[in-house]
Structures are given as C-alpha cells and as structure tokens.
Structure 1
Amino acid sequence: MTDTLSNPTPRTASTPTAGASRMGRSAWGRVAICVVLAVPAVVFRLTGFAPNPVVDLLVFGGAVVAASFLLAWAAEAAQKDIAGALAIAILALIAVLPEYAVDLFYAFRSGSDPAFEQFAAANMTGSNRLLLGFGWPLVVVISLLVARRYVRAGSLPASATKVLQLEQSSRLDIGFLALLAVVAFLIPLLGSIPLWFGFVLLAAFVAYLWRASKVADGDDDEEEMVGMAGNIASMPTRARRWTIVALFVVAAAVILSSAEPFAEALVSSGSALGIDSYFLVQWLAPLATEAPEFIVAALFALRGMGGAAIGTLIASKVNQWSLLVGSLPIAHVLGGGTTGGLPLDGRQVEEFMLTASQTVLGVAIIIALRFHRWSAIALVALFAVQFVVTDTSGRWVLSIVHLVAAVVVFWINRRDIAPTLAAPFRRQPAVERG
C-alpha cells in the first residue's frame, strides 16, 4: 500500500531483530490494562450483579472499549500475514465488530419489543455519520499536518500539506461505496429494511470481500508496524499467530458478554439521567465502539500512512452499508419480528435519508482519489450542524444541502465517475514483479 504521503522515503521490509522477538513489558502492560478493565463486566455478567443503569453503563461500556482495543491491535498485527486490499477490508470489518454486536442486539430485541426498533436504526445511522463526518476529516487533518515535516525535508511537494492523495487500491472501495450509497436511498423510499433487501446487501458484502482479495498490492515489501501492532508483529511466526488468536478470542468473548447489558444500560441510563435515550444510543454507543478504530486510523496517519488510514475508514463505511444494514432485518426476524423486515417510523426514514445523502457527498469528495483539507473542514461543519438542527424540516434541508453539494463536486470530478463505478466489476491487471 503506497501513496505520496504513505511512502515519502524508500522502505525496506521489516525484519524482527533479536531484541524484538517478543513483546516487552510495556506492551504486555497495555494488554493487562485492557483485561483489568474488562474483568468487572465479566463478573457482573456471571453473577447477575447490576447496581444501577449508570454503573452498568460505565462497567460494560468500559469493557467494550477495552475489548475493542484488543481487537484493533490484533487486527492490525494480522496484516503481517494478510497482505493487500483484503487486509484493509478485514481490518475494517474486525474494527467495527463491537458496534455490530450492540446494533444487532437492538435489532434482535426489536423482534419481540417494538420499542427497540428505533434504537437499531439510531445506532447504525449515528455510527455511519460519525465515521464519515468526524473520522474521515480527523485522518485527513492529521495526515496533512504530518506531511509538513516531509515538505520541510524536501521529500514531498508543498501541495502535500493541502491534499491527501488516496491509494489506487481505494478505487475499488469507493466504487462499492458509491453503488451502496445509491441503493441506500431505497430504504427511506420503502419505509423499512425488507428481508430480501438485507440478503441483497449481504451478497454485496461477499462480492466486496471477493473483489478485495483479487486486488494486487503491487509491492512485496511489508509496511513497518510500530506500537502494539509492531510488538506483536515482531514476534516469531508461531508465537505471533497464537497471540493474535488469543487476543481475538478474549476480545470477542468480552464483547459478546457485554454487548447486551451495555445496550440495555444505554436505554435505561437515559431515563435515569434525564437524557434522551435515543441520543445516547445514536451517539454515545458509536463513540465508544468506534474509538479504537479511529485511534488505529489516526496512528496510521501519524506514521505518514495517510492513504492506508483513510482506506481503512472507507472500507468500514462499505462494511456498515452492506454487512451491518443487511444484517438488521435478519436479526429482527430471528428475534420474533415479522418476515417483512425491520420497520422504520418517520424519524428513522429521515435519519436514513440524511445518512445516505452524507455518504453520497463523501463519495463525491474522494472519487478523484484526492481529499482536500477544505473538504474535510466542510464535512465536519455539516456534521456539527445536525446537532443544532434537530427537527424534521432541518434534517430534510440538510439532506438536500448534502445532495446539492455532491452534484457540484461530482461535476468537478466527472471524469472519475465512470472508472469508479466500473471498479467493482473490472478485472484487475496483473502486477509485474521483478
């Protein structure tokens, strides 16, 4: 994975040294901290101890965040054994598993309790807009700030501090995201997420993973890893793989045991604290579950790997619109709901419309494989507006603003529309290797 910013100087393959053949005390200390934070949640779940909703929220929320870090470290280190665009897709998928666990619980519970129908959609739309409205700009700003030191050193042109160049392999992800963004408008039009539509989205996700596995990276050298991922990646092969598997298993166990009480505590805490439960589910839950994903992407950007950083978040966006949304009606039916799928009320229709329109604008901005700093600022500004404009008319107006801005940007980048839409279907050229 290479681009102007992610490879300002020649690389060499990273080779474990004698002093880096195992994780140091500080690395194991971070793992231990995450385990310690997760232990109270496991104890609460096994004993059934639940003092009050707010305490439950803190305990189980802390466990989910801690487990998310374990997942993120293991997923990043796993790229040592999985190369290319598929690694980015898998990393993005694993990084959002905590969010999936919480959201699917709401969808499953809504099958027997209609009051939870709104929360399933709220969690998905909140996490989706948070990813694009905050995560994407965060990575871009960090990448452009990091580029300054390379510009001063003379290894990058001055333009590198204004525009982040995306990797060529991102064309596939953007193409899938563009198609999914268009299909997403069927949800507000239908007023629900039908079961058949869920299966269509799941098929799109399978197709995306298959196409990502066919994308040739074109570079035999391995990306150098630092931090926790670097510690794990530097271990001998057998020890590294067992460590990664162990982290995955522990993190998954904590998340699966904490997702349900955390989700219920979010709803109950709203009433206890006098805060709208819908607001907590839509924004607090995604902020907790996606924090490690944002940190992983930010670390990529801080290392000068801006293309890989934004590529991970774009892949996460594809995962959300395909796997997550596609799974919601299935979870709803499995929970006892009607075979028609997950119903949406008027508020949810507006939320999906706003989320889909924001996604279209995001695609328009990155379709030319360039992310300008002013585009990042505009996304953050529009994301912030939704917290001020909270009524029905405001959401529709903001959706229209997104779409009008997208049309303008698409016109500017019109030459990139056809190749991007064709990317998911085009055979990738063979890579010459010397």
Structure 2
Amino acid sequence: MIDTASVRAADAGAPSARMGRSAWGRIAICIVLALPAVVFRLSGFAPNPVVDLLVFGGAVVAASFLLAWAAEAAQKDISGALAIAILALIAVLPEYAVDLYYAFRSGYDPSYEQFAAANMTGSNRLLLGFGWPLVVVISLLVARRYVRAGTLPRTATRVLQLEQSSRLDIGFLALLAVVAFLIPLMGSIPLWFGFVLLAAFVAYLWRASQAPDDGDDEEMVGMAGNIASMPQRTRRWTIVALFVVAAAVILSSAEPFAEALVASGSALGIDSYFLVQWLAPLATEAPEFIVAALFALRGMGGAAIGTLIASKVNQWSLLVGSLPIAHVLGGGTSGGLPLDGRQVEEFVLTASQTVLGVAIIIALRFHRWSAIALVALFAVQFVVTDTSGRWVLSGVHVVAALVVLWINRRDVVPTLRAPFRRAVAAGDA
C-alpha cells in the first residue's frame, strides 16, 4: 500500500471556501447537462430516438456523477451499518433504474424479456474486464514514483496488494459467482431465487457492518473531497440536495433512456441488444470508474479496487435478485423472469468471467499480467459474437480460473470462510 501522507499534507492547506466554489461550479455543470432531459420529459417533446438517447443518456451520466460525489462525501457525516446500506443502494441507482425498467416492462411486453438482464451482464463484465485492470494499471504506474524514491520495493510496479478488508467482499463474490451458474441451468431467474439473492445482499451488508474498524480514515479525493471540505451545515444541505436532484433526474430519465436505446438500434441499423448491453453501462458506470481511478492516482489502489469488488457483489445479489420481482410486478408470471438462449449464454459468460476474477484476486494480490489477461479476454468477446464463441470463451475463463485457483489454493478456504466468520482480524490471510 502506498503511503499517502505527503499527498494529504499537500492537500491540507487548501482553503475550504475555494474548494467549495469549485464544487458548486462542477455541480452546476451537471445540472445544466441534465436540464434538457427534464424539459423533454415535462413537455413530452421527443424529436427522434437518437436525440432522445443523447439527451436522456447525458442526464443519466450527469446525475450519476452527482450521486457518486454525494454518496462518498456523505461518509463524513454518516457512519456504521446505516451508511453501508444507504451508500450501497444509492451507488447502484442509475444502473438499476434502467435494468429494472426493462424487467418491469417485460412483465407485460414479452419482446422486452431479451433486454431484462442485458444491462446487468454488460455492466458486470465491463466492471471486471475494464474497470479492474484500469485501476491496477494506474496503481502500478503511480507506484513507479515511490520505487524510484526508494520507499517501495521494485515488486510494487508489478503487483497491487489488496487490503485485508477485501477478503470479506471476495468471499461473498466467490459464493455468488458459483451460485450464479444455477441461473442458466434453470433457464430463468425464479422469484424464490431472487429473494435468496436479496437475502445474500442483506447478509453482506450485515457482515460488512460487523467488520472491525482499521482505524484509518480514508482520504476523500476529487469532488467528494471538495464537498466534504465545506462547512458542516452547507455540506449536509448540499449532499441532501444532490441526492434528491440526482434521484429525480435518474428516475425520470430511466424510462425514456431505456426506450431510446431500443429505438435507436433500429434507427441506426445497430443491434438494439448491443446498445442496451454496452452503451447503458458505459453511462452508468463512468462515474464509478472515475472515482476509483482518482483513488488509484492518489496511491490508494487497494481501496480503489475494493470499491469495484463491492460493486460486483451488489450486482450479483441486489440487482439480479430484483429482476424477477420487477418482472412479476410488471404483470409477468409468478414463476420469475424467463431467459432465452442468448440470455443463458450471456449469464454463463458473465459468471465464468467472475469466477476468473475471483481466482485472480483470491490471494489479495493483483498481478500486472492478470490485468492484461482480463482486458484481452474482455476484448475477445467483441470479435467472437456467435453462440459457439461465447461458450468457448466461457470455457477458457473456467479453465484459466481452475489453474489460478490451484496456484492460490492456500487462500481458497480462508476466503470462502470469510463471509461466515464473526470477526475479521486485521492480519488474517
């Protein structure tokens, strides 16, 4: 872990008022970007699908940034299990709003069943195949400065060391990744299975709230740090206002944005499934990637990758568990959300990639070659787009995961036990 004391010391002297003005300016930019969507929504103006996509997509991105800043800055005033629950739900709102709309719509319009889980599989693979390697590469590049200064060993430029607290998240992600293979075997996401996944999410929050405090107050960086530096009263009102405004923009833009994605595919001659699976996640995941990258640039790579691991846990538990419930509420059968052949393949590919990701980080070390391998395998899926290609790529993920798990076999049992232990010792491996 890179020592950030010098960074904190350099930032400590910045005047609060100045940082407050900077924060207000960036907040204003996001609000201005979201305003056209509000006007479109209230007036019912919809010139064409592509324009709608740009307007409402821009609003979702802008609101996602507001949520990310406010959620991180809120940690200054909220602590404990309540903070974990609130922040976990807030952070996933943009992605969930779009995906749950498709699941709800599929309840009374079967043509939307193909899109119900598309956003989830896309964002899940984007997070691991691009987000994780991005953080690792930035962290290793930053480490070079410390190696040249003689404060870190040369191995710090090749391996990112994860924090011990990540063991709990990795343990939950490992269990969820294995359970995820039941979905393609069942050919659907049954309603009862959705409640099981929601229970797993609650258990995850409960166990995370019991983890002992390591005593270190992580430095807030970027806009979250700017907001946190405001006077207490101004800061709290700003955070509440950001939550309300961002949530209102996202909830009002989710439906037209989701519809515009589907309609734009036909208008542009692009596969609508492709747009739903990849364009929507790019919009909703961008703020999270930027926040994680800022942590990595500050020499806090372990904390950065930890936030992205937690996001994977949220996706496999809260998001997937909510899909069959939204489908039933939309008028679907009580059996749950049905999956067609394409969706089954996508779930297998996503689950197998997750297993590989778990295998890579199970020893709390992220090697440079592992990041390169993840990016390469992520890129291959855009070249091999047929059914056999997806199955072969899934098999490659599983085989590679088994090899890496064998190499790191001593860490398998401690990781699988982590979600069930009452306490997580600071030095426990």
Q: TM-score range by the shorter chain?
A: over 0.9
Residue 216 of structure 1 aligns to a residue whose secondary structure is coil
Equivalenced residue count is 427
Answering whether residue 180 of structure 2 is matched by residue 187 of structure 1, we say: no
Work out the CA distance in 1 between the residues paired with 2:33 and 2:423: 45
Answering whether residue 316 of structure 2 is matched by residue 337 of structure 1, we say: no
User: Which of 204, 207, 215 is equivalent to 1:208?
Assistant: 204
Report the Cα offset of residue 29 of structure 1: 1.1
Work out the CA distance in 1 between the residues paired with 2:165 and 2:386: 40
Report the Cα offset of residue 97 of structure 1: 1.5
Shift in alpha-carbon separation, 1:319–1:30, aligned structure 2, 3 A: same
Counterpart of 2:100, as a letter, is L
Counterpart of 1:318, as a letter, is V
Report the Cα offset of residue 81 of structure 1: 2.9
Aligned to 1:236: 231
User: Which of 306, 320, 325 is equivalent to 2:320?
Assistant: 325
Aligned to 2:120: 124
Gaps in structure 1 of 5+ consecutive residues = none
What do the CA deviations read for 1:395-433 (whole angstroms, capped 9, x no partner)?
Answer: 01000000000000000000000000000010115789x
Aligned residue runs from structure 1 range 346-365, under 5 A: 346-365=341-360
Work out the CA distance in 2 between the residues paired with 1:13 and 1:145: 22
Answering whether residue 64 of structure 2 is matched by residue 51 of structure 1, we say: no
Aligned to 1:107: 103
Aligned to 1:164: 160
User: Which of 270, 283, 288 is equivalent to 1:288?
Assistant: 283
Shift in alpha-carbon separation, 1:429–1:56, aligned structure 2, 3 A: closer
Work out the CA distance in 2 between the residues paired with 1:358 and 1:290: 18
Aligned to 2:301: 306
Counterpart of 2:214, as a letter, is G
Aligned to 2:266: 271
User: Which of 35, 60, 68 is equivalent to 1:72?
Assistant: 68
Residue 260 of structure 2 aligns to a residue whose secondary structure is helix
Q: Structure 1 vs Structure 2: percent identity of aligned residues?
A: 88
Contact 2:130 2:375 in 1 (8 A): yes
Aligned residue runs from structure 1 range 214-229, under 5 A: 214-219=210-215, 221-229=216-224
Work out the CA distance in 2 between the residues paired with 1:257 and 1:364: 39
Work out the CA distance in 2 between the residues paired with 1:290 and 1:273: 24
Work out the CA distance in 1 between the residues paired with 2:333 and 2:406: 43
Counterpart of 1:259, as a letter, is A
Report the Cα offset of residue 9 of structure 1: 4.3
What do the CA deviations read for 1:175-218 (whole angstroms, capped 9, x no partner)?
Answer: 00000000000000000000000000000000000111111221
Aligned to 1:250: 245
Work out the CA distance in 2 between the residues paired with 1:125 and 1:249: 28
What do the CA deviations read for 1:199-256 (whole angstroms, capped 9, x no partner)?
Answer: 000000000001111112211x422223211111112223222211111111000000
Contact 1:150 1:156 in 2 (8 A): yes
Residue 151 of structure 2 aligns to a residue whose secondary structure is coil
Contact 1:61 1:262 in 2 (8 A): yes
Work out the CA distance in 2 between the residues paired with 1:146 and 1:14: 17
Shift in alpha-carbon separation, 1:90–1:134, aligned structure 2, 3 A: farther
Report the Cα offset of residue 305 of structure 1: 0.8
Work out the CA distance in 2 between the residues paired with 1:87 and 1:156: 34
Contact 1:88 1:311 in 2 (8 A): no
Work out the CA distance in 2 between the residues paired with 1:371 and 1:89: 28
User: Which of 256, 259, 280 is equivalent to 1:261?
Assistant: 256
Contact 1:169 1:217 in 2 (8 A): no
Contact 1:128 1:320 in 2 (8 A): yes
Shift in alpha-carbon separation, 1:282–1:328, aligned structure 2, 3 A: same
Residue 193 of structure 1 aligns to a residue whose secondary structure is strand
Gaps in structure 2 of 5+ consecutive residues = none
Aligned residue runs from structure 1 range 136-175, under 5 A: 136-175=132-171
Residue 29 of structure 1 aligns to a residue whose secondary structure is helix
Shift in alpha-carbon separation, 1:139–1:84, aligned structure 2, 3 A: farther
Residue 423 of structure 1 aligns to a residue whose secondary structure is helix
Report the Cα offset of residue 75 of structure 1: 1.2
Aligned to 1:369: 364
Shift in alpha-carbon separation, 1:151–1:91, aligned structure 2, 3 A: farther
Work out the CA distance in 2 between the residues paired with 1:92 and 1:157: 35
Contact 1:65 1:288 in 2 (8 A): yes
RMSD: 2.1
